[in-house]
Amino acid sequence: MHEFPEFLAIPLAEWVDALMSWLLDTFGTLFDVIGHVMLILLLYIEKFFLWLPWWVVIAAVFLVAWRVIGKWWHALFLAGLLFLIGTFGYWNLAMMTLGLTAAAVIVSLAVGLPTGIIMAKSDLVESIVKPILDAMQTMPSFVYLIPALMFFGLGKVPALIATLIYAIPPVIRLTNVGIRQVSQTVLEAARALGASPRQILFDVEVPLAIPSIMVGINQTTMMALAMVVIASMIGARGLGLEVLLAINRIEVGRGFEAGISIVFLAIVIDRLTHALAAGRHDTKTG
């Protein structure tokens, strides 16, 4: 009486395994093509960041931060954080991490923005996609590694896929919210002037939703960066791998240096993307 009856057990694990096997058998070639395209994208972005001289990156961060934030000492602080990463000896690893993050954000935007727009235009699509996004955001990050490994093997591509799954929900949600919050009065005025649905979308709704979309990009970028340690478990190099190796070898100093480098990189990216979002908002409201 104290044990749960066995006849009520649901073999969910067996069903999921069967589904995964069917997907591999049916769409194996498609997964290979997707993996190849993503690997090329990731390698080109990573090589670009590694090709840039360190002083060029730091100078660019300083100038961009000064431009979007408007305070030279704040820009100097962000540039100084990048300089400290270099003094720790982790510059190349930081650029690899930045490459993975950038690739994940690019793919997230390519998939997330159209998905968010479709959700904003259809209540039915929104009702279907929202529970999927909820599951993607609440499921433990380690769970993403299993299907990523099965479909794409070990290496950079499954790390990118796992990062993508974890990071994409914010940009989808906030694109949907931003477009839905556009004033109906503005839309009616556009229709009265003879604007087509396409013109209303790209000339009215999307521009007015830019502040919300920029916040979504900021959150997606930060969530992608938060996956670097977990992604290192399945083949992603970079700062996350250094943290993982330090944990395995119980090297506290090494782990602290790599960990604080991730924090510094996160601060720089967060401040820049947040300032860009705030700047766009001020431009629209000004």
Q: Using one digit for the tens of pLDDT, what is the confidence trace for 156-205? A: 888 888 888 888 999 999 999 999 998 888 888 888 888 888 888 888 88
The reported pTM is 0.85
- CA–CA gap between residue 104 and residue 168 (Å, rounded): 8
pLDDT per residue, tens digit, the chain (286 aa), is 567 777 778 888 888 888 888 888 888 888 888 888 888 988 899 999 999 999 999 999 999 999 988 888 999 999 999 999 999 999 999 999 998 889 988 999 999 999 999 999 888 999 999 998 888 888 777 777 777 777 887 778 888 888 888 889 999 999 999 999 988 888 888 888 888 888 888 888 888 888 888 888 888 888 888 887 777 777 777 888 888 888 888 888 888 998 899 999 989 988 888 887 766 545 444 4
Rounded to the nearest angstrom, the gap between the alpha carbon of residue 142 and the centroid of all alpha carbons in its chain is 16
The whole-number pLDDT of residue 276 equals 79
Domains, the chain, in order of start with CATH, read 24-285 (1.10.3720.10)
Distance CA 76, CA 63 (A): 9
Check: CB of residue 205 under 8 Å from CB of residue 182. Answer: yes
Directed axis angle between helix 91-121 and helix 123-138, to 10°? 150
In this predicted structure, what is the pLDDT of residue 285?
45
pLDDT in the model for residue 199: 87
As a whole number of angstroms, the distance between CA 161 and CA 104 comes to: 8
Complete DSSP assignment for 92-141: HHHHHHHHHHHHHHHHHHHHHHHHHHHHHH-HHHHHHHHHHHHHHHHS-H
